[in-house]
Structure 1
Amino acid sequence: MKKSPSDSLWRWICVRILTLAIGSVIAIAFCMWLRFNIQNLWIIYHMPQEVKEAFLPLIEHPERNPALFHQVMDQRWGIGYSAPSIMSADWIMVGVLVLVIIPFIVIIGLRSARPLSAQFITLATAARAVSRGEFRVRARLVKNAPEELAQFTEDFNTMTQQLERYEKELHASHVAMAHELRSPLTAAIGRIQGMLDGVFNLEPQQLTMVMKQLKLLSRLTDDLHLLSLAEAGQLTLSKNTLNLTEVLKERAAWLKPQAEACGMLITVKSHTQALYTGDVFRLGQVFTIIMENALRYAADGGNLSIGVNRKGSGFDITFQDKGPGVSAEFLPAMFERFTRAETSRGRHSGGSGLGLSIAQAICVAHGGNIIAALPPEGGLLLTVHLPGQ
């Protein structure tokens, strides 16, 4: 929809004030002129014909016969017509016109200021609702409002829309977080309670199972802490010059036993000198998360192809698997916390649903991002974009 043009607040106010002021002066001047002309025409129309014939030429040239001119003026218009008195007819007429026009000025002024007042009232009402936690409220844009207020209203509505989305995401994140933290904690407590009740024997195997759940719980809390630091802009990066290709090959070699167990081949292809200034540990964490994600969900594809391509002063690192992929509707939600696909990439495959969120947060901290796409040949394509420093 095409946005209607609006005046700036300064112009909006000046136009209305000047219009009222100039309009009032013109209205008073027009009324005075009209009253003057009607009076003159009325008096001249009722003059005797011989007086009219003698007087009319003197209107333009009174110096031809000043005595006759003033005599007719005094007789027909009154001896006080030209008297400089505050009580003269002209001043009285001006006073009457001012008294008559003032109410019109007030009414027109209030009507002209109505869009400004209405927009402020709308914003104030919406702000009060937002302060009560009603983030679904939107401020109505009043027609003919100043440009600054119209833009402020749009920004306010964008802000409330984001707050509404954040509230939903926060609620969903808290629910998912409680579930994810409860699962290992419940398993550990149940196992310990079983050993206390004599259901399980106190032996290394049972303690190992408890330790496994506690390590999972510790990893979840560490991941959540990292995400909190990233969202607050407090994620510390130790930047040094690194070779992205070497880091990728190192991580692929580290995961080679798991890849062989899954029947997947990880290949790294690079045709460029991939020197980059970044945090080698955090970027290695990103690469590991994406590779583990492919091993967990796309192992049946048999291949994970990794490419390093220069883009401007930065790099694009592509990870393409041959697995079942995901639905197109799931792509925008892939990097949200505790998100797993419910179809092709099932929950039974494992993972907390925080991995891609952490990878995205680390990339954003480097000034980049991760983009997910579905290539025509199938599978899933993840592109890590790292801009130049």
Structure 2
Amino acid sequence: MNQNRQKKEPGTLWFWICGRLISLAVGCIILIAFLMWLRFYVQNKWHEYRMPEDVRAELAVLIKNPRLNINRYHEIIDTWYGLSYSDPSMGVMDWLVLGALILFFIPVIVLITLKAARPISRHIGRLDRAARSVSEGGFGFKVPVPDTLPLELQRLSENFNDMSVKLERYEKDLKKAHVTLAHELRSPLTAATGRLQGMIDGIFEPDEDQLKMVMRQLNELNRLVEDLHLLKLADAGQLNLDVMPVNLSDIVREKIAWITPSAKKVGVDIIHHQKQTITCMADPYRIGQVFLILMDNALRYAADGRVLDISYRSSSEAVVVVFRDSGPAVADNFLDSIFSPFVREDVSRSRHSGGSGLGLSIARAICEAHGGRLSAEKNKGKGLSFCITLPRH
């Protein structure tokens, strides 16, 4: 058999049930009719066997043309087959045989139906136990998916397994996020509390410098809370946007002017390819946040590349803004998680890292709130490219 031949697509549940039930019903009717015919066939052969050879030969001629001697034909039939043979109605024995066949096939039909329905019943039982396990917190529970099941049950089982795996991953990410969030909140709070306690205990003088240090920690804590609030609003679809026609290149140029002093400190040259006016419908403040996050991300993690290249692609339907750096890239298995909250790689791009790990999550949430998307891909040479896609209308 050719191994490259595609696997046969399983039938739907409707055809699976109808095919078996109809096949069972038709098969039983055909078998009962065959057995009834076989009874009469055997009976006729028995009567023929009892006849003398000359009578059998004479009857064979008369069967082909009874009008040759109709009286002799009926005489032979009545003598050897019986007077009831010519009666067109079903006799008592015929009804008894038919009833016996029906009584015999009823349990056969029941057994075959139960056997055919057993795989579906067993699999639904597995799904029930798996769903109960997931409802009790046992995420990651899977059910086998036999190829003999109808198409709907196979898809239901596969979707259930995918859901269970995603819930397990979500639970792990949620626990990890809670731990990280507690750490991120505790760090500035502990520093501010410790500094204030030191001033109360007389260890530090309550002068302007000490108060500024406390204020910086409180500002850091407030920024983190605001970021979390914005992210949750976006996740809930409640992020309010003031959408208007905007020139994206003007917003990019404004953010470049804002971040240029920081870029010079780390030795990063920002190249802005502005060949034409790039307009779309967007919230200028929120989109400005996205641009600033991506620029700050490049300064934090890709300063070794010394260059941040910003370019545009546009069509009648969408606008794409590309932020391409030349710093160290991230591992392939980390690329899918780069937009998750509080995710920061331990090596490579995180060598100069800082921040809470919420920036890219917020940037993607803002893009999705605009009906667009934010994606990342590795460059052919070095670094990463972040692509912002926004609908024009």
Do the aligned residues in 1 keep the contact of 2:204 with 2:210 (CA within 8 Å)?
yes
Q: Distance in 1 between matches of 2:97 and 2:81?
A: 16
* 1:296 to 2:328 alignment: no
Aligned match of 2:391: 387
Q: Deviations over 1:26-63 (max 9, x none)?
A: 00011111111111111111112343233333334445
1:361-380 counterparts in 2 under 5 A?
361-380=365-384
Q: Deviations over 1:239-278 (max 9, x none)?
A: 1000000000001111122222223222211223201111
2:137 maps to which of 129, 133, 136? 133
Q: Deviations over 1:70-93 (max 9, x none)?
A: 444344333444557776221111
- Of 80-89 and 19-28, deviating more is 80-89
* 1:42 to 2:60 alignment: no
Do the aligned residues in 2 keep the contact of 1:118 with 1:142 (CA within 8 Å)?
no
Aligned match of 1:243: 247
Cα 1:374–1:147 shift into 2, 3 Å: closer
Do the aligned residues in 2 keep the contact of 1:223 with 1:358 (CA within 8 Å)?
yes
Residues paired across the two proteins, number: 389
Aligned match of 2:279: 275
- Of 359-368 and 78-87, deviating more is 78-87
Do the aligned residues in 1 keep the contact of 2:301 with 2:351 (CA within 8 Å)?
no
Aligned match of 1:217: 221
Q: Deviations over 1:352-387 (max 9, x none)?
A: 110011111111112222222232332332222223
Q: Distance in 1 between matches of 2:192 and 2:391?
A: 44
What amino acid maps onto 1:204 in structure 2? E
1:36-115 counterparts in 2 under 5 A?
36-62=40-66, 64-81=68-85, 88-115=92-119
- Of 263-272 and 23-32, deviating more is 263-272
Aligned match of 1:157: 161
What amino acid maps onto 1:269 in structure 2? H
TM-score of the superposition, structure 2-length normalised? Answer: 0.92
- Of 323-332 and 351-360, deviating more is 323-332
Match of 1:333, SS state, is coil
TM-score of the superposition, structure 1-length normalised? Answer: 0.92
Runs of 4+ in 1 over 6 A off after TM superposition: none
Q: Distance in 2 between matches of 1:110 and 1:77?
A: 44
Do the aligned residues in 2 keep the contact of 1:242 with 1:277 (CA within 8 Å)?
yes
Cα 1:54–1:38 shift into 2, 3 Å: same
- Of 82-91 and 257-266, deviating more is 82-91
Q: Distance in 1 between matches of 2:333 and 2:57?
A: 96
Match of 1:317, SS state, is strand
- Of 60-69 and 6-15, deviating more is 60-69
Q: Distance in 2 between matches of 1:349 and 1:153?
A: 43
What amino acid maps onto 2:222 in structure 1? S
Aligned match of 2:202: 198
What amino acid maps onto 1:333 in structure 2? S
Aligned match of 1:16: 20
What amino acid maps onto 1:35 in structure 2? R
Q: Distance in 2 between matches of 1:143 and 1:328?
A: 34
What amino acid maps onto 1:26 in structure 2? I
Aligned match of 2:188: 184
Do the aligned residues in 2 keep the contact of 1:272 with 1:308 (CA within 8 Å)?
no
1:169 maps to which of 173, 178, 188? 173
Q: Distance in 2 between matches of 1:271 and 1:315?
A: 14
Gaps of 5+ in 2: none
Q: Distance in 2 between matches of 1:282 and 1:147?
A: 45
Gaps of 5+ in 1: none
Match of 2:387, SS state, is strand
Q: Distance in 2 between matches of 1:368 and 1:160?
A: 28
Q: CA deviation at 1:19?
A: 0.5
- Of 263-272 and 245-254, deviating more is 263-272
- Of 190-199 and 320-329, deviating more is 320-329
Cα 1:50–1:261 shift into 2, 3 Å: closer
Q: Distance in 2 between matches of 1:359 and 1:319?
A: 13
Q: CA deviation at 1:284?
A: 0.1
Q: Distance in 1 between matches of 2:15 and 2:216?
A: 69
Q: Distance in 2 between matches of 1:248 and 1:369?
A: 17
Q: Distance in 2 between matches of 1:140 and 1:82?
A: 62
Q: Distance in 2 between matches of 1:104 and 1:22?
A: 14
Identity %: 47
Q: Distance in 2 between matches of 1:63 and 1:54?
A: 13
Q: Distance in 2 between matches of 1:207 and 1:4?
A: 74
1:246-257 counterparts in 2 under 5 A?
246-257=250-261
Do the aligned residues in 2 keep the contact of 1:272 with 1:309 (CA within 8 Å)?
no
Q: Deviations over 1:302-351 (max 9, x none)?
A: 32221122145212211122333333333222111111121123366321
Q: Distance in 1 between matches of 2:211 and 2:86?
A: 116
Match of 2:273, SS state, is strand
1:271-350 counterparts in 2 under 5 A?
271-346=275-350, 349-350=353-354
